[in-house]
A and B are shown apart, each in its own frame.
Chain A
Amino acid sequence: MSVLSLDHVVKRFGDFTAVNDLSFSVPEGGIFGFLGGNGAGKTTSLRMALDIIRPTSGKIEVLGRAPGRENAAQVGFLPEERGLYRRMSVLDTVVYFGRLKGMASAAANKAAQGLIERFGLGPWSNQTVDKLSKGMSQKVQLATALVNAPRLLILDEPFSGLDPVNQAVLEELVLEMARGGSTVVFSTHVMQHAERLSDRLLLLSRGRKVFEGTQEESRATLPGRLVLTSRADPGALAGVASATAAGAANDGWTDWNVELNPGADAGDLLQACTTGGFALRRFETHKPSLHDVFLHLVGADQEIVK
């Protein structure tokens, strides 16, 4: 079952098209990464999913329904730009958002206290938010997103502004939520986070979808690359698109950077070398990173972080 789907969605702000004919579907369970540079349409898409803004055209479904606050009880949301009521206490803040999501007072209190303890904020529970450090405030904000134990957790650039320690804490939390059965949708322009967390990916560029699928499927969009050390030029072998000598020959052996034809498999090439008597001293396949995939699909002009 799909927990979030967009069908030919378009969002225009005046003459500017922020999201252009976007269609994708997020299956229930697992972690879904929303990748794209600045201005790719990630935040706009997530805001439309939450009914904060309405699409110009197209159809959106969240948990089988149209977007709306009726879904708030089952949805958690951490926006990119974060803030809290400065003069509200930590506990009151988390409880307030729980209540806004339809929780009963007692349940919201219990869940809030549990999360506050879990995030190590127990001693500050009754302190007002303006007395907390930035890291603590971000934990409080995260608690407001999680207080209703959401079935769908939407995180917009969740790692921005966090130090490496808290980034690791948040990554673990995201994995834990997914293991607990929640579906996590997060947007990022940092490829490492997406690579470590995402089961499935959506790549956006200038409001358009350029890829949707698993990480493996994304890598398959790149031509295979490998490094060979051979006496002969491998350029003529079946499946090889190009072969470039990486340096001068050494005792008759030369290193080659080889790029395969689209769809060609490195295993088939190795088999062909073996059966055809093509002498090899090295056969090293190169697994492309998500960053490579992104650059390949989107281009180098988009602002992303490796």
Chain B
Amino acid sequence: MSRTLLIAMREYRQIAATRGFWVMLLMIPLIIAVSQFATRLIAPQGNVAYVLVDATGQYAPAIQHRLEVTYQRQVLGDLAAYAQKWKVGSAAPGAVWASGPRWFSDADAEAFIAQGGLPAALRQIAPRLPAEATPFKPSEPRDYISVDPPAGVPIDQGPDAFGAAMAAPLQGDVMTSVGKRPLSVAIYIPKDFGASADPVHIWNNGRSSGLIDTVRGELTGRLRLQALQASGLSPDAFARIEGLNAPIAVAAPPAGKGRAQVIVRSLVPLAMVYLLLITVMVTGALMLQGVIEERSNKLMESVLACVRPSELMQGKLLGIGGVGLTTVLFWAGCAVAAAFSTHGVAADFLKPSLMALDHPWIWAAMIFYFLAGYLVISMIYLAIGSMSDSMQDAQAYLMPVVMIIMLPTVLMMAASAQNPNGVLPQVLSWIPIYTPFAMLARLGSGVSPIEILGTGALLVVFIVVELTLLGRLFQASLLRTGQPMKLGDMVRLVRQPEAG
């Protein structure tokens, strides 16, 4: 095994043995877990059961139809995105889902149901799906599942008897068509509803505002129409009024890959910038401590008798790179696991973002910029470590360096959240020390390949120059003792390869 690799492994082990590393490594999964846990505690569960008793026999079908149309609109949206992703829209050119994702109206949902709904669409799609296509799954389950009143609950003795009997079942779960679910709502429509002032009675455990709004909306609409009919409105006019919809033109997202581009731009690359900043600052500080330990413990001479300074530098960079890669892979693994095996706020954001990264070159570019950024900043930390006898010494160098890196980067991140191709992100893309941050932030917004190649090439040249010059500083500083180095000394050492 080469000496560089031996050094890299030692560095890796040393950093992995620190508390700081584990705190950093577990921080992101912890945040995801907490968000999931909080989501489950605070937010309603995925779906709940309800009991609807309609003593009039007129309103229940309309309410259930309304709920069905709402759910089918959501399924239709998911299906349209799925058809676009796997390029199977041509399987049924006339189908409402075939032209890709957009805003769907109730009429679209009704048409979808009329065309056979999801089962019919999946049958049409199946022959054209590529082999690597994943099975279609709606992004959300049906919100509200209707169940019959529990046994023994009177449905013909008025709302009071019904409500009293439902009190206990509303505290627990009931069996539904998709398994046990919390019984969340009980609705009782009295026999003379509409003809008298008797209200609809709803017993709710606080997690079903959407269902209550639907019930109220549907019943209100029915009552209004009944009132219009009673006032002498002709059946034709009634039908026209019922079919009226406000005209709304909903545009698709801008050119390119549309929705996918927007999602990528808004989450994953920006997250990579944050991850790069966090990991490089934390692991850079850990590496800095390691170099200072070697210097203050008078280890350098022993080590340098066995390895060249360049091997020591490369080994350290490789080790710290390994730590960074481990961290990112671990975080990415946690993110994927959270996205595809759980439900919650984090999953809601992560799943579509990760699925939207369907181009290998986006991943390749992200990994390149991430590792290049890691190398650029780590090398600065390494040089500072080689010039410092203590963390106190290092702070004097670190403060301006961190400010120079952080300030424009944070400003750029804020700017790119508004407009990834604004002036600041574009300018910083061509300043090598900021290139990884700026390009990561912009990658999802349709950066041209020329710009990626150009900034990438410039970054590689910068890294070579940085490694050469800071490598000289590192080599010359390793055995240096005495007063902290001044800027003039640094320039002299950088300009004279054999100095010291």
Contact = CB atoms under 8 A, between A and B. Distances in A.
Contacts of A101: 306
A87 B17 contact: yes
A79 B6 contact: no
Interface in B1-28: 1, 3, 6-7, 10, 14, 17
Most buried by B among A47, A52, A75: A52
A84 interface: yes
B297 interface: yes
Contacts of B498: 54
A134 interface: no
B301 A13 contact: no
Nearest to A156: B301
Given A13-B500, A53-B500, A85-B297, A77 B479 contact: no
28 contacts: A13-B500, A47-B479, A52-B304, A53-B479, A53-B500, A69-B306, A72-B306, A79-B301, A79-B305, A80-B301, A81-B301, A83-B294, A83-B296, A84-B297, A84-B299, A85-B14, A85-B293, A85-B294, A85-B297, A87-B14, A87-B17, A88-B10, A96-B10, A97-B302, A99-B1, A99-B6, A100-B7, A100-B306
Given A52-B479, A99-B1, A85 B306 contact: no
Given A13-B500, A82-B302, A87-B17, 19 more contacts: A53-B479, A69-B306, A69-B307, A72-B306, A75-B305, A77-B305, A78-B302, A80-B301, A81-B298, A83-B297, A84-B297, A85-B10, A85-B293, A86-B293, A87-B14, A88-B14, A100-B3, A100-B303, A141-B302
Interface string B283-310: 0000000000110111101111111100
B306 A97 contact: yes
Interface string B465-486: 0000000000000010000000
B305 A50 contact: yes
Interface in B297-346: 297-299, 301-308, 311
B174 to A, nearest CB: 58
Contacts of A69: 3, 306-308, 311
Nearest to A144: B302
Interface in A112-141: 141
Nearest to A71: B305
A277 to B, nearest CB: 64
A96 B479 CA distance: 21
Interface in B441-500: 479, 498, 500
B297 A47 contact: no
A193 B2 CA distance: 38
B483 to A, nearest CB: 14
A52 B305 CA distance: 6
Nearest to B478: A52
Contacts of A82: 298, 302
Contact of B305 (A72, A96, A141): A72
A86 B498 CA distance: 31
Closest 10 CB pairs of A and B: A83-B297, A81-B298, A83-B298, A79-B301, A100-B306, A77-B305, A83-B299, A50-B305, A52-B304, A72-B306
Contacts of A52: 301, 304-305, 479
A44 to B, nearest CB: 11
Nearest to A52: B304
A82 B98 CA distance: 74
Contacts of A141: 302
A96 B306 CA distance: 11
Nearest to B10: A96
